[in-house]
Amino acid sequence: MNGTVLKTEHLTMQFGGVVAVDDLNIEIPQGHITALIGPNGAGKTTAFNVITGGYMPTNGRVVFHDKVIGENHPRSKMKKIYNGSDRTAFHHQVVNTPDKITRLGMARTFQNIRLFKELSVFENVLIAKHCRIKAGMLSATFRLNHVEERTMREQTQDLLKTVGLADLAREKASSLPYGKQRRLEIARALATSPSLLLLDEPAAGMNPKETEELAQFIKDIKDSFNLTVFLIEHHMNLVMDISDKIYVLDYGKTIAMGTPKEVQNDPAVIRAYLGVEDE
């Protein structure tokens, strides 16, 4: 487990005059589970959106497997109103859309489940497999890609077995219990063959038993699929149980980083979560 899978350098995202993410510098080692936590509105999901290509950063850089996949600097009107902490000179503009970043090996889930609810469990996962398809439009039209299609269907069935959803393959996604829908969304992300899996509040809405099962599930798929995991989560028991390293955001800024034990006892983190006034 050597090397850094994902790195951000002075990453800043500003909307108008509001700085949602301010000078974020993270490093995620290969094979580790890293968490990004913080109170509501701290900028966590915005950071995910920038990393995965949903937003172009206002300033800074995203590096994935030593390749710059996103980079920008304040330009035109933003030069005058830029309020980010760091003004390091980034000279290039590198833009990647979410689909391109997915094909590079980064997959994510969302805070609000985004399944194709009227399609079956099997179809939801199979659709994700198509991001790796090699056949072109012509060969697909004339069914010249039938071998590749059959292989993808077999791989989909195997994946559903691995994540414990094989017996529900023909069920509509909307008919699944909430916890199973979460698991299906993760399975769909796994179908893109990622090396880095980003999970945005995977335990949201789950009861304690479901959360406990999810924690074990994340650890199992990390090992089974040789993954690196980066997650946002509000369930502190889950975060402390599975994370190797934690970054804490508050109002867009990093206020702490370290092991679960170090973060848990950090006075700045306690103040951010409990609202304790400085003496």
In the predicted model, is pLDDT for residue 276 greater than 80?
A: no
Same domain, 94 and 38: yes
177 DSSP 8-state letter? -
Q: How far, in Å, CA of 115 to CA of 135, rounded?
A: 25
pLDDT in tens, 78-117: 999 999 998 788 889 999 999 999 999 999 999 888 899 8
Amino acid letter for position 128 = A
Averaged pLDDT, 251-260: 96
Q: Is 169 helix (H, G, I), strand (E, B) or coil?
A: coil
Same domain, 91 and 16: yes
Please report the pLDDT score of residue 198 as a whole number.
98
In the predicted model, is pLDDT for residue 232 greater than 60?
A: yes
Please report the pLDDT score of residue 62 as a whole number.
98
Same domain, 101 and 180: no
pLDDT in tens, 184-230: 999 999 999 999 999 999 999 888 999 999 999 999 999 999 999 99
Same domain, 214 and 96: yes
In the predicted model, is pLDDT for residue 279 greater than 50?
A: no
Among 81-95, 126-140, 204-218, 264-278, the minimum mean pLDDT is found in: 126-140
Residue-averaged pLDDT of the chain: 91
Please report the pLDDT score of residue 86 as a whole number.
85
* Residues 6+ away with beta carbon under 8 Å from 114: 185
Q: Is 229 helix (H, G, I), strand (E, B) or coil?
A: strand
Amino acid letter for position 152 = M
3-class SS letters over 97-114 = CHHHHHHHCEEECCCCCC
Cα three-residue angle 130-28-100, rounded to 5 degrees: 25
Same domain, 30 and 166: no
Averaged pLDDT, 239-248: 96
Same domain, 54 and 174: no
Please report the pLDDT score of residue 254 as a whole number.
97
Same domain, 91 and 2: yes
Local confidence band at 143 (pLDDT 50, 70, 90 cut-offs): low
Same domain, 131 and 39: no
Query: Helices 178-190 and 208-224 sit at what angle, rounded to 10 degrees?
Result: 20
Same domain, 90 and 223: yes
Q: How far, in Å, CA of 261 to CA of 217, rounded?
A: 22
Same domain, 231 and 179: no
In the predicted model, is pLDDT for residue 259 greater than 60?
A: yes
Out of 159, 193, 227, a domain closes at: 193
Q: Which domain holds residue 72?
A: 1-105+194-279
Q: How far, in Å, CA of 54 to CA of 48, rounded?
A: 8
Out of 164, 193, 222, a domain closes at: 193
Amino acid letter for position 223 = D
Same domain, 179 and 200: no
Same domain, 58 and 137: no
- The pair of structure tokens assigned to 123 is 């179809």
- The pair of structure tokens assigned to 207 is 């009861």
Q: Domain tally for the chain?
A: 2
Helix/strand number for the chain, H first, E second: 11, 10
Among 6-20, 69-83, 123-137, 186-200, the minimum mean pLDDT is found in: 123-137
* Through-space distance between the first and last CA atoms of the chain, rounded to whole angstroms: 43
Out of 150, 176, 193, a domain closes at: 193
Local confidence band at 145 (pLDDT 50, 70, 90 cut-offs): low
